[in-house]
Amino acid sequence: MRETAQRASGRNQMIEHHLDDDILSQYSAGTLTEGWSIAVASHLALCPACRSKVDMLDSLGGYFLEADDGRASDVSKSWEAVKARIDAGEVDNVVPLKVRSVPDRIYPEPLKRYIEAAGGLRWKRLGSGAAQMLIPTGDATTTVRLLKIPAGQPVPEHSHGGLELTLVLDGSFSDEVATFGRGDIEMADDNLTHQPKADLDKDCICLAVTDAPLRFKSRFMRLIQPLLGI
Amino acid sequence: MNIQIALRTGLRRDAYAKANVSLPPVGRRKVGNLEENSVNLDAERIVVLMSAISEKRDVGAFEILYRHFYPRVRSYMVRMTRGNRVLAEELAQETMMRVWNKASLFDGSKAQASTWIFTIARNQMIDSVRRGVRPTFDPNDPAFVPDEFEAADTKIEREQSAAALGQAMTTLKGNYAEVLRLSFFEGLTHSSIAEKLNIPIGTVKSRIRLACEKLRNALQDEIK
Ligand SMILES: [Zn+2]
């Protein structure tokens, strides 16, 4: 049964590299910070298999909610207040949908709206022909960026130790043991040392989330930090 | 399977009839001097109430649902706010207002009501307590990849799997269930759980993985 399901979803998407239960459960429980969640939710947009895992985890939340009756007291008072709001005809503010400007289907939601909030795609050249775009978020604990690696070129070193999530959006990259194509997500920790390369047929675009770079106390170090790429 | 569907539909109709009985709601009874004014509903009844709320905007049905879920959501919020009762009550009330306002978006074939309400409470908590953002995918996004294996009678499966999940949870060893509860109902990060239980973070992660694996296997056995 399980094997069939796995084969089936493999045929469906060809996604071979997924998120693990550890990070999915943090996303479902609401304890994962914004930066990591952008990569998780963007993978989920492309991966029905991980979405169904999140469904199971959400229903675990429902189970715990249901299991705790909260030793009820004084529900009537709060009900009266809510009833008054309903009778007053209070409705939710509906936020109108913005017109989408990022043109193609490479960037799934929620990543797309972050790119738009940053004023659209703006690539900055790194050395070696690669380019990056930093994605601003409200999460000071992570760095979120897009990377564009020319076909056949090595993926630039952008880890600072700790966890790193890399979601492939276009093209593919490979190391000695595996190939990562659209929708695949690599979860790397600081134990992993490898130098993947973008495959030859196409430039590779990825979303990479890492722990935020070290905050230096010295103003001088803060100034040259971007130059050093740390 | 057909027999099962017929049976369940029958049950649902019966529960529907019950829900249409006008107030006073069940469960308002004197316990000593304390008026116990919350109710406990079974899953079948909740399904019926949810459809009365979303389709008919039935305030009476919502009151019954409210008396069931408000204490539970408040309890969740008390934990999430580290014991701030005033804030917790306010957030629980806001959550239930969202349930009322968004009821038409509830799809019983996609999720159980308790799961749906949990996700609303969780998002409310992230908004208000963490002042954070929870990025989510959008099924209407052109880049979104839909599931091509959408089963026809998912609503039945949903109910079965909810029952199976409850069953599977009771078979989980205490220390596995505890890690899940601390994560989902106390909102602790995995490192805080490790600290609280005085175990390595690797153990927290492996317990979560094993627990998830076990629950998934139990659910897959159920929905064959
Ligand atoms: Zn996946």
Could you tell me if residue B56 is inside a domain? yes
Q: How far is the CA of B148 from the centre of ligand 1 (A)?
A: 15
Q: Which two tokens stand for residue B209?
A: 């993985």
**pLDDT at residue A10, rounded to an integer:** 39
Q: Is residue B141 part of a domain?
A: no
Predicted ipTM > 0.90: no
Single-letter residue type at A202: K
Q: Do B124 and B159 share a domain, yes or no?
A: no
pLDDT for position A225? 58
Residue type, A49: A
Among B93, B128, B163, the domain-final residue is B128
Q: How far apart are CA A228 and CA A141, in angstroms?
A: 20
Q: What is residue B25's predicted lDDT score, i.e. its pLDDT?
A: 41
Instruction: Please tell me whether residues B184 and B124 are part of one structural domain.
Output: no
Query: What would the mean pLDDT of B145-155 be, rounded to a whole number?
Result: 67
Classify A184 in phi/psi space as left (phi over 0), alpha (psi -120 to 50) or beta: beta
Q: Do B189 and B96 share a domain, yes or no?
A: no
Distance in Å, CA A164 to ligand 1 centroid: 16
Q: Are A105 and B35 within 8 A, CB to CB?
A: no
Which of A29, A52, A62 is closest, CB to CB, to B183?
A29
Residues 42-81 of A with CB under 8 A from B: 42, 44-48, 51-53, 55-66, 68-76, 78-79, 81
Domain ends where: B94, B128, B162?
B128
For helices A48-67 and A2-13, the axis angle rounded to 10 degrees is: 130
Do B113 and B172 sit in the same domain of this protein? no
* Calpha distance B43→B11 (Å, rounded): 11
Which of B40, B115, B129, B203 would best serve as a mutation to test chain A binding (most A beta carbons within 10 A)? B115
Whether B139 maps to a domain, the answer reads: no
**Chain A 94-153, residues with CB within 8 Å of chain B CB atoms:** 105-110, 112, 114, 137-139
User: Which among A143, A148, A142 is positioned nearest to A130, based on CA atoms?
Assistant: A148
Instruction: Please give the residue that has the higher pLDDT: either B219 or B92.
Output: B92
| Chain centroid to CA A227 | 26
User: B37 pLDDT band (50/70/90 cuts)?
Assistant: low
Q: Are B184 and A60 in contact (CB under 8 A)?
A: yes
Q: Tell me: the pLDDT tens digits for A205-214?
A: 999 999 876 5
Domain assignment present for residue B135? The answer is no
Residue B88 lies in a domain: yes
The reported pLDDT for the residue numbered B173 is 86
CB spacing of A64 vs B98 below 8 angstroms: no
Task: With beta carbons less than 8 A apart as the criterion, state whether B166 and B173 touch.
Answer: no
Q: Which two three-digit tokens encode residue B141?
A: 């996004």
Containing structural domain, residue B46:
3-128
With a cut of 50, say whether residue B62 has pLDDT above it.
Answer: yes
- The mean-pLDDT minimum among A53-67, A164-178, B147-161, B167-181 falls in B147-161
| Domain match, B85 and B51 both | yes
> Considering CB atoms only, which of B59, B148, B189 is closest to A86?
B59
Total domains, chain B: 2
In a domain, B147, yes or no: no
CATH number at residue B112: 1.10.1740.10
Distance A18 CA to ligand 1 centre (A): 4
pLDDT at residue B117 in the model: 96
**What domains lie within chain A, and their CATH numbers?**
6-70+107-230 (2.60.120.10)
The reported pLDDT for the residue numbered B212 is 93
The CATH code of the domain that includes B180 is: 1.10.10.10
pLDDT of residue A1: 39
Same domain membership, residue B159 and residue B94:
no
Check residue A191 and give its pLDDT: 66
User: Is residue B123 pLDDT above 90, yes or no?
Assistant: yes
- Other C-beta atoms closer than 10 Å to the C-beta of B11 total 15
- Residues B173 and B63 placed together within one structural domain of the fold: no
Low-confidence residues of chain A: pLDDT under 70: 1-13, 69-73, 91-104, 157-161, 190-193, 213-230
For chain A, how many residues are written?
A: 230
Residue B31: enclosing H or E segment and its boundaries? strand B29-31
Is residue B124 located within the same domain as residue B79? Answer: yes
Chain A residues touching residue B38 (CB < 8 angstroms): 69-70, 72, 75
Q: Please state, in angstroms and as integers, the Cα–Cα distance from residue A217 to each residue in A210, A213, A214, A225, A230, following that order.
A: 21, 13, 10, 11, 14
Chain B partners within 8 Å of A38 (Cβ) = 135
B47 part of a folded domain: yes
Would you tell me how many other CB atoms lie within 10 Å of the CB of residue A203? 17
- How distant is the Cα of B195 from the closest Cα of chain A, in angstroms? 16
Q: Looking at residue B100, what is its pLDDT?
A: 95
Task: Please check whether residues B76 and B112 belong to one and the same domain.
Answer: yes
Is the Cβ pair A60, B144 closer than 8 Å? no
Instruction: Give the per-residue pLDDT at B221.
Output: 72
Q: What integer pLDDT is reported at residue B30 of this predicted model?
A: 38
User: Residues B108, B58: one domain?
Assistant: yes
Whether residues B116 and B25 fall in one domain: yes
Token pair 């890492």 is found at A210
- Strand A124-125: give its sheet, edge to edge: A124-125, A131-134, A142-149, A204-211, A164-170, A185-188
Domain assignment present for B146: no
**Same domain? B160 vs B107:** no
CA distance B142 to chain A (A): 7
Q: Is B183 helix (H, G, I), strand (E, B) or coil?
A: helix
- From the number of C-beta atoms within 10 Å of its C-beta (0-12, 13-18, 19+), residue B215 rates as buried
A-chain CB neighbours of B36 within 8 Å are: 72
Task: Find the CB nearest A85 among B63, B97, B141.
Answer: B97
